[in-house]
Amino acid sequence: MDFDLSEEQHALQEMARDFLAERWPTERSRQLLDARPALIDDDVWREIVEMGWLGVAASEEAGGIGGDVTTAAVLCQEAGRGVLPGPFESSLVAAIALDRSRDEALCKNLLPELIAGSRRVSVGIEEPGGLYGPDAVSAEAREEAGVWRVSGHKILVPEANEADRLLVAARTSQGPALWCVPAAAEGVTINRMDRMDAQSCGEVILEGAAAEGGVLAGAERGEALLREVYDIWTVLLAADLLGSAEASLELTRLYACERVQFGKPIGTFQAVSHRLADTLVEVEIGRSLLFAACLALDEGRDNAAPLVSAAKAWLGDTAVAAAETAMQIHGGVGFTWEYDVHLHLRRARCNAAMQGDADHHRDRIADYMGESWVAPVKA
């Protein structure tokens, strides 16, 4: 079976890499660490919108390109490599959620505006308490006089302060689902939170905030959509982590070829070359896990969720380890502001914890294995 990217996906990847190298140099990311929050400059954002990145995985009827999760992951991989800040990935996830909800009003009005860049939409699932995912959602939605009102507490909502609409997870007696709430609605309070990599995120407190319409996918499919969106968002974060790990490895390889000690490049020393080889193996394993998860999501397989968790757990650990290895091999200069190593270490540590850390996702895999394992019958 051929797991390689298609010609179109390879072309998109090369185009995205060249674009970000030219229009988003790492020097700009360093500047935004001081100027917090880190957001894409307006002129660069307009170019991203014009290239159709926000609708890459949305249907053509909604103004998207009609791509799949794998295609979206290719862009997120390059965003991680290029240290591109928000709101690109959160907007991409929101567009996928709206498109798959099949909510007539939102798909007709809000989704095209999101893809065109005239509206900002973010997604809030995680809550305080150290637990992750749809099963940990405690926010509630109640119907009062024909209006659904959402109450609860969300944290680490990407670009919450800049969003026009928020897709928040809340539960009813039928289970958790996603609801669209205007960011400026009465009963919505947004407080800025601080990430190590300076990306914009916020705490959202909802006190009876009125949702636009009802549950995004209706009562029958609301929970299924939420779980689908959670897995897609998680795999796109894993793709970002892969791109960051690749960049850390490449930065270290180049430095090891240039830095000379005892008359030789330090890359010729086993202590260095073996570390680089180990990192390369871990990155390639992560790449295989990532695109296996993307393929499973695109094909709607029953084992998509554990594959997503395997990719996120592995790449979360790998991206952090790759950046730490880069820091160590660079030596004293690795800690300095002028080098790019710290940019990837900051990003990797933050994204490794977003949408569930490695322990959470290993627990998901263990739960799946426990449910799918059948004890052999003795003769």
- Tens digit of each residue's pLDDT (9 = 90 or more) over 239-295: 999 999 999 999 999 999 999 999 999 999 999 999 999 999 999 999 999 999 999
pLDDT of residue 377: 56
What percentage of the chain's residues is helix, strand, coil (to nearest 5)?
Answer: 60, 15, 25
Question: Which stretches of the chain drop beneath a pLDDT of 70?
Answer: 1-3, 372-379
User: Is 119 buried (19+), middle (13-18) or exposed (0-12) by CB count in 10 A?
Assistant: middle
* Domains defined along the chain, listed by start: 7-120 (1.10.540.10), 122-218 (2.40.110.10), 221-372 (1.20.140.10)
User: Please, what sign has the CA dihedral across residues 249, 250, 253, 258?
Assistant: negative
Helices (H), 134-269: 218-258
The whole-chain average pLDDT of the chain stands at: 94
Distance CA 273, CA 278 (A): 9
Q: Where are the beta strands (DSSP E) in 28-162?
A: 121-124, 140-144, 147-158
**Predicted local confidence at residue 62, as pLDDT:** 84
Using alpha carbons, select from 243, 338, 343, 240 the residue that is nearest to residue 29: 343
Type of residue numbered 167: L
**Per the omega criterion (within 30 degrees of 0), is the bond before 265 cis?**
no
136-156 pLDDT per residue, tens: 999 999 999 999 999 999 999
Burial class (CB in 10 A: 0-12, 13-18, 19+), 307: buried
| Other CB atoms within 10 A of residue 335 CB | 12
Q: Rounded CA gap, 131 and 116, in Å?
A: 35
Q: How far is Cα 150 from Cα 127, in angstroms, rounded to an integer?
A: 14
Distance from C-alpha of 275 to C-alpha of 289, rounded to nearest angstrom: 21
- Nearest-angstrom CA–CA distance, 8 and 171: 40
**Residue 45: per-residue pLDDT:** 97
* The predicted structure's pLDDT at residue 2: 57
Phi, psi of 6 (to 5 degrees): -75, 170
Q: What is the pLDDT of residue 9?
A: 94
**Which residues 6+ apart lie within 8 Å of 327 measured at CB?**
334, 335, 341, 342, 345
